Structure 1
Amino acid sequence: VGGLAGAFAAATAFAEPELLALPEGTLAAWAESPELSAYAYHLGALERRRPFVRSADVEEVLGLVRAPFASARSVHPTLVNTDLDLGEVRLKDGEVVRIGHGNVDRLTMDADRDVRRAAWEAYADAHRRFANTMAAALTSGVRQDVFVARARGFESSLHAALAPNELPTSVFHALVDTYCRHLPTWHRYWRVRARWLGLERLREFDVKAPLTLRAPEVPYERAVEWICEGMAPLGEEYVNVMRRGLTVERWVDVYPNAGKRQGAFSTGTRGTHPYIFMSYQGSLFSLSTLAHEIGHSMHSYLAWKSQPDVYARYSLFVAEVASNFNQAMVRRHLFARHEDVDFQIALIEEAMSNFHRYFFVMPTLARFELEVHERVERGGTLAAPDLAALMADLLAEGYGDAVEMDRERSGVLWAQFSTHLYSNFYVWQYATGIAAAHALAARFDSSPEAAREDYLAFLRAGGSLSPLDALRVAGVDMSGGKAV
């Protein structure tokens, strides 16, 4: 499929250069004509990309290299998912469990500290054994990013990643600066968590330790009901479509299975319904993942239904708003409905796990990604020991003196992300997405009617607006991070 996409890109490479070769003002006139008014944003975006669109010959070459350039991105997950021996761990009852990508999170959340330690260390060590190979793959991926950026005339890899979506690099740097300013909040959280767990000091394998041993079991059917209840403020039509997708129309590949890879995602294309891949585990964490992915799916469903093909796709910058919005709304509903102390603690734990991934891990990876790209842009290299040292240094800033680190094992975190770091400046948008989502969810407290209409308009907009303008429609200004 990747090869076919590359062949298609090469075959259609002539289009944009030929359009941009038309006399100046032609595209603007077309955009104002009644026949092509629907394409006004598309034509305007093409005009804005003019400085970075090359000749037809160069565009054809850039299209042809897409398939071979995908090799770095395919080598890493192939190695991790098929060749890596993650080891095993002995549970408290004596059962020996093979560690897999699908169960490592559950094992590092075990109530037994020895189980958490063994699973965390084994998972890190498995990646460390192949760190040099993974560093070579990451180096290839970063060099490809730098090559494409320079071939198109962008100022940097970061500029090349953001400019097509009309995002100024200042938005990226604002996210990183905001994260760094609030590191003391994370330091305080680690200390509070250690005190709750009765530990003098946290270790890294304690950051997911359970805060209650009486977390609720949540069967899939109950999760669907709670998600539908939580999303009721968006209206009956939204909820009915979502309920049908989660049940009758079987949008979701629900349960774990032999050979099933890790992770969760929503995919599909206009002309189909959305498809959700996940492994439901019967917990609040799985409920939250399902809410997240159905948020993506409903975004796609409404965009596909409302927009022509040219605007059917939307950027990750807005995609992660829709998914995290659903999580925020469902979590708020469950907090209001369930007053049981253990249920509330379990909800706090699920929320903090989500915040840890999106507000801690992802900004840290974004800082790592910026540094490795800048090193290559300066002509430097990316050896595994250097990558591990950089990763450990960045994590140490986030942990402060509240977490005792194992630098060798912490430093291999970059190798545990098989796809995220092979998509040029991808991960930072998880953090902006969750920030915008919670700002939009808060609007439902004061003006639910306006909040609903604005948010649904945002979902229906698809790719017909720039990401920042689409979010302004929803009610949040992410250029400066303040709600409208």
Structure 2
Amino acid sequence: MQPLGSDYVNTLRYGLTDGRWVDYGLNQNKRQGAYSNGVYPVGPYIFMSWNDTLPSMSTLAHEIGHSMHTHLSWAKQPYAHARYTLFAAEVASNFNQAMVRKSLFSTQSDTEFQVALIEEAMGNFHRYFFIMPTLARFEAEIHARVEAGRSLSAPDLNTLMADLLADGYGDGVQMDRERSGIMWGQFSTHLYSNFYAYQYATGISAAHQLLSAFDDDAEAARQRYLTFLGEGGRLDPLDALRNAGVDMEKPDAVEKTFEVLAGYVDRLEALLEERLASRPATS
């Protein structure tokens, strides 16, 4: 995270060590999932279960992104403006994940590690860039059904979820409709916050466009990004992101993120071809 400056890194390091921001230990009856939360001006704190894997590391990067967003918002804004929107929140979390991956890709050359890192990234993209928008379609449809006076039942919701997933996957994926159809039941927190799910897709998109700016002018990109984190809820999130260099009313950020995803595919193909080429010939 050094491109964000020593103040950011030192605060992050304090939170992960002496500050004890993270409830990371496995424990009996501890629920699954991860989140960052706090009450102004106490915290922030992270709930998760660390298991020493790449996905666990990525989860921690995601949640500490939230926590640093909270820390900087509270440090820069009065109580009335300290709470930022969910639309802004998922930018900070995805940005941290993307920056950590970028660092690991450049510093860890081991083929097996890079393949594992791509696998983690693909899982993250599948969740945020496919599953969450599909859940947003699901949520919009159930609201429309209720407004039309129609009833909802679990079998109907399962069928709707399976239909939407099948539409998204297309003919290239054979899907277990019974298992996949209950997916909506796994996202109770997200669906209880009205129209939250789609903001993961906008968040990961804005995050990757913000990160790409570090390749052009790292210092200017750093200043813009830290200013964005410190805005809290003072500005509409579209305006705050526009000031940081991302216009979410245009397709550029989404297209940039598809480019990143395509780059992972290309990198994986190259790594696998390299590994095949290095195998000894057999007679």
C-alpha deviations, 1:263-290, integer Å up to 9, x for none?
Answer: 0000002221210000001011111110
Q: Read off the aligned partner of 1:325 and give its amino acid letter.
A: F
Aligned partner of residue 36 in structure 2, secondary structure: strand
CA contact (8 A) 1:245 1:251 kept: yes
Equivalent of 1:453, from 223, 239, 246?
223
Aligned partner of residue 419 in structure 1, secondary structure: helix
Using the alignment, how far apart are the partners of 2:41 and 2:131 within structure 1? Answer: 36
- Scaled by the length of structure 1, the TM-score of the pair is 0.52
Aligned partner of residue 204 in structure 2, secondary structure: helix
Q: How many Å apart are 1:412 and its aligned residue?
A: 1.1
Q: Which residue of 2 aligns with 1:255?
A: 25
Using the alignment, how far apart are the partners of 1:298 and 1:362 within structure 2? Answer: 24
Q: Read off the aligned partner of 2:141 and give its amino acid letter.
A: E
Equivalent of 2:213, from 437, 443, 468?
443
Q: Read off the aligned partner of 2:227 and give its amino acid letter.
A: A
Using the alignment, how far apart are the partners of 1:270 and 1:478 within structure 2? Answer: 29
Using the alignment, how far apart are the partners of 1:415 and 1:302 within structure 2? Answer: 34
Using the alignment, how far apart are the partners of 1:407 and 1:306 within structure 2? Answer: 48
Q: Which residue of 2 aligns with 1:292?
A: 62
Using the alignment, how far apart are the partners of 1:369 and 1:273 within structure 2? Answer: 32
CA contact (8 A) 1:321 1:436 kept: yes
Using the alignment, how far apart are the partners of 2:96 and 2:162 within structure 1? Answer: 33
Q: How many Å apart are 1:416 and its aligned residue?
A: 1.7
CA contact (8 A) 1:468 1:477 kept: yes
Equivalent of 2:137, from 333, 347, 367?
367
C-alpha deviations, 1:285-317, integer Å up to 9, x for none?
Answer: 111110100000000001101101100100000
Using the alignment, how far apart are the partners of 1:246 and 1:473 within structure 2? Answer: 30
1:230-249 → structure 2 map (5 Å cutoff) = 231-249=1-19
Using the alignment, how far apart are the partners of 2:188 and 2:139 within structure 1? Answer: 14
Tell whether 2:219 aligns with 1:462. Answer: no
Using the alignment, how far apart are the partners of 1:480 and 1:389 within structure 2? Answer: 33
Q: Which residue of 2 aligns with 1:320?
A: 90
Q: Which residue of 2 aligns with 1:358?
A: 128
1:29-428 → structure 2 map (5 Å cutoff) = 231-428=1-198
Q: Read off the aligned partner of 1:362 and give its amino acid letter.
A: M
Q: Read off the aligned partner of 2:123 and give its amino acid letter.
A: S
Using the alignment, how far apart are the partners of 1:347 and 1:286 within structure 2? Answer: 12
Q: How many Å apart are 1:420 and its aligned residue?
A: 1.3
Aligned partner of residue 381 in structure 1, secondary structure: coil
Using the alignment, how far apart are the partners of 2:211 and 2:179 within structure 1? Answer: 37
Aligned partner of residue 141 in structure 2, secondary structure: helix
CA contact (8 A) 2:37 2:43 kept: no
Q: Read off the aligned partner of 2:83 and give its amino acid letter.
A: R
Q: How many Å apart are 1:460 and its aligned residue?
A: 0.6
Using the alignment, how far apart are the partners of 1:414 and 1:453 within structure 2? Answer: 39
**Number of matched residues?**
253
Q: Read off the aligned partner of 1:403 and give its amino acid letter.
A: V
Q: Which residue of 1 aligns with 2:277?
A: none
Q: Read off the aligned partner of 1:420 and give its amino acid letter.
A: H
Using the alignment, how far apart are the partners of 1:472 and 1:481 within structure 2? Answer: 13
Q: Which residue of 1 aligns with 2:244?
A: 474
Using the alignment, how far apart are the partners of 1:304 and 1:482 within structure 2? Answer: 30
Identity %: 67
Aligned partner of residue 171 in structure 2, secondary structure: coil
Q: Which residue of 1 aligns with 2:275?
A: none
Q: How many Å apart are 1:407 and its aligned residue?
A: 1.3
Using the alignment, how far apart are the partners of 1:250 and 1:480 within structure 2? Answer: 40
CA contact (8 A) 1:322 1:437 kept: yes
Q: Which one scores higher on RCO, CA 8 angstroms, separation ≥ 6?
A: 2
The CA RMSD over aligned residues, in Å, is 1.0
Q: How many Å apart are 1:336 and its aligned residue?
A: 0.4
Aligned partner of residue 273 in structure 1, secondary structure: strand
C-alpha deviations, 1:313-368, integer Å up to 9, x for none?
Answer: 00000000000000000100000001111011011001001001001110110000
Structure having the higher Rg: 1
- Scaled by the length of structure 2, the TM-score of the pair is 0.88
Using the alignment, how far apart are the partners of 2:39 and 2:239 within structure 1? Answer: 23
Q: How many Å apart are 1:481 and its aligned residue?
A: 3.3
Q: Which residue of 2 aligns with 1:154?
A: none
CA contact (8 A) 2:21 2:45 kept: yes
CA contact (8 A) 1:455 1:473 kept: no
Q: Which residue of 1 aligns with 2:259?
A: none
Q: Which residue of 2 aligns with 1:45?
A: none
Q: Which residue of 1 aligns with 2:260?
A: none
Tell whether 2:183 aligns with 1:430. Answer: no
Q: How many Å apart are 1:408 and its aligned residue?
A: 1.8
Using the alignment, how far apart are the partners of 2:51 and 2:244 within structure 1? Answer: 33
